[in-house]
């Protein structure tokens, strides 16, 4: 393809007053987002998951390569296989693989080997990063800024989940190569995150430490 400019197809500019109001409303709403480990068994419509994923793939990416693939899973057997593999990995992690410093950092979060959210949540979303692209003839092409691009898309995914009135949890498998065969994804893709998605259980708890955020003057600088 060659560069062909077109007019900006959509304009969403607001007046200054409306802009401030909209940004304050979004800030307030996003402050209500929480990572949740306890899920209700209430079903979530497939259409909602499709819309959430369609939102994620509108993200910008390096050279517009779109180096991602998202797999939504509601099948109980697939979720059970993922949980079993995740818990085996977590057992090794907590038995010494992580090191004392990492385990100490995780202690206020209350994580452990058991991962019931991977089977309790009505949906799992597996995020794959495309390490390189494949042409129709099987030859490879390079993707650019893969981690950054997939990270942006995943952030938009999490925001879309919250916007739909649902909750999720960011679980980073390492390694979980079996997800490629389970999800029927090619070898040029690497699973980088699993997000259980659903409604919070009635008795959901979150760690108090999760509410402690750095002061804005430590994380924001304006010139």
pLDDT at position 46: 98
Kindly report whether the peptide bond that precedes residue 175 is cis, defined as omega within 30 degrees of 0: yes
CATH of the domain at 156: 3.40.109.10
CA distance 120 to 118: 6
pLDDT at 174 over 80: no
CA distance 54 to 80: 26
The answer to whether residue 208 sits within a structural domain is no
pLDDT digits (tens, 9 = 90+) for 112-123: 899 999 999 999
Give the distance from CA 208 to its chain's centroid: 22
Pairing of strands 133-134, 68-73: unpaired
Q: Calculate mean pLDDT across residues 162-168.
A: 98
The answer to whether residue 59 sits within a structural domain is yes
The answer to whether residue 31 sits within a structural domain is no
pLDDT at position 109: 87
Position 100 confidence tier, pLDDT thresholds 50, 70, 90? confident
The answer to whether residue 218 sits within a structural domain is no
Q: What is the mean pLDDT of the chain?
A: 95
Give the C-alpha distances (Å, rounded to integers) separating 29 from 12, 134, 163. 20, 40, 8
pLDDT at 162 over 90: yes
Q: Calculate mean pLDDT across residues 128-150.
A: 96
The better pLDDT of the pair 65, 111 is held by: 65
Q: Calculate mean pLDDT across residues 65-70.
A: 98
| Torsion of the alpha carbons at 31, 36, 40 and 45, rounded to the nearest 10 | 70
Tell me the residue range of the domain where 190 lies: 36-200
CA distance 96 to 40: 32
CA 157, 163, 166, 167 torsion-angle sign? positive
Position 177 confidence tier, pLDDT thresholds 50, 70, 90? confident
pLDDT at position 89: 87
The answer to whether residue 15 sits within a structural domain is no
The answer to whether residue 115 sits within a structural domain is yes
User: What is the pTM for the complete model shown?
Assistant: 0.95
pLDDT at 9 over 80: yes
CA distance 96 to 5: 55
Position 60 confidence tier, pLDDT thresholds 50, 70, 90? very high
Are 35 and 169 within 8 A, CB to CB?
A: yes
Position 70 confidence tier, pLDDT thresholds 50, 70, 90? very high
- Edge to edge, the sheet with strand 123-130 lists 68-73, 123-130, 189-198, 167-168
Position 176 confidence tier, pLDDT thresholds 50, 70, 90? confident
Domains identified in the chain, total number:
1
Are 150 and 190 within 8 A, CB to CB?
A: no
Structure tokens at 110: 């209350």
């Amino acid at each position: 393809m060659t560069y062909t400019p077109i007019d900006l197809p959509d304009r969403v500019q607001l007046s200054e007053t409306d802009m401030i109001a909209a940004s304050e409303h979004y800030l307030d709403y996003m402050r209500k987002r929480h990572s949740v480990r306890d899920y209700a068994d209430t079903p979530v419509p497939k259409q909602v998951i499709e819309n959430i994923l369609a939102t994620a793939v509108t993200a910008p990416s390096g050279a517009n390569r779109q180096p991602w693939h998202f797999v939504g899973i509601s099948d109980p057997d697939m979720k059970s296989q993922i949980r079993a593999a995740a818990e085996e990995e977590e057992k090794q992690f907590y038995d010494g693989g992580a090191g004392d410093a990492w385990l100490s950092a995780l202690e206020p979060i209350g994580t452990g080997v058991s991962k019931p959210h991977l089977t309790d949540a009505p949906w799992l979303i597996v995020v794959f990063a495309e390490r390189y692209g494949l042409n129709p003839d099987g030859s490879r092409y390079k993707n650019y800024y893969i981690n950054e691009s997939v990270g942006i898309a995943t952030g938009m995914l999490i925001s879309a989940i919250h916007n739909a009135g649902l909750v999720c949890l960011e679980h980073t498998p390492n390694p979980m190569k079996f997800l490629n065969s389970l999800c029927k994804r090619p070898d040029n893709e690497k699973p980088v995150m699993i997000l259980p998605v659903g409604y919070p259980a009635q008795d959901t708890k979150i760690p108090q430490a999760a509410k402690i955020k750095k002061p804005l003057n430590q994380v924001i600088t304006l010139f």
